[in-house]
Amino acid sequence: MELRQLAYLAAVAEHGGFTAAADALHVAQPGVSAQVRRLEGELGHELLDRSGRRVRPTAVGEAVLPHARAALAAVAALRDAVDALDGLLRGRVAVGLVPGGPAGFVSDLLGRFNAAHPAVEATLEEGDSESLLALLLDGRLDLVVAGRAAPPPAGVAAATLLEEPLAAAVAPEHPLASRASD
């Protein structure tokens, strides 16, 4: 069993197909297919259902995926530990942002982070709060920047990054237009 096979399996499951996974990994699609087949042969089970338009994990695949992701995360942590001893921070940081969120603030923050840590690849994912929090809990995002209307779910720590005033804009003839604002 090779780490590459686990990475390819996780990518196919995440992207819903071999071509999309290969594109995301910047490798050739036949290589992804061949490595997943080898992994399936070694385990003696099909891990992916290829019968529909989208490729989906089988029941065995669903059982294998968390372990594959954990193994990949452990290897990344090992590399990070060695890099930390060398004084180098490298890897990836994935940030989630809700549409209409403080994009300028996040962009500035990521720019400063990248200047301080050029060997770290930063990616930005946009989506609604619920789906971004699900990705955070699944380990696919490292940080989510979103409004907070309720306490964070279990397993999530939250901190206020900034407070922005909100205003309602109305036409001059609207009944609310005559109200004083702070």
Domain holding 42, by residue range, is: 3-77
Tokens read off for 169: 């804009």
The pTM score is 0.53
The reported pLDDT for the residue numbered 149 is 65
Secondary structure of residue 105 in the 3-state scheme: helix
Side chain identity, residue 180: A
Characterize the bridge pairing of strands 91-97 and 120-126.
Answer: parallel
CATH of the domain at 12: 1.10.10.10
Residue 164 belongs to a domain: no
Residue listed under structure tokens 């997943």: 36
- Domains in the chain, number: 2
Give 10-residue mean pLDDT values along the chain (182 residues). Answer: 94 94 92 94 95 92 94 88 74 83 78 84 86 86 80 79 75 82 62
Secondary structure of residue 61 in the 3-state scheme: helix
In the chain, which residue ranges form alpha helices assigned H by DSSP?
Answer: 3-15, 18-25, 29-43, 59-85, 103-116, 129-137
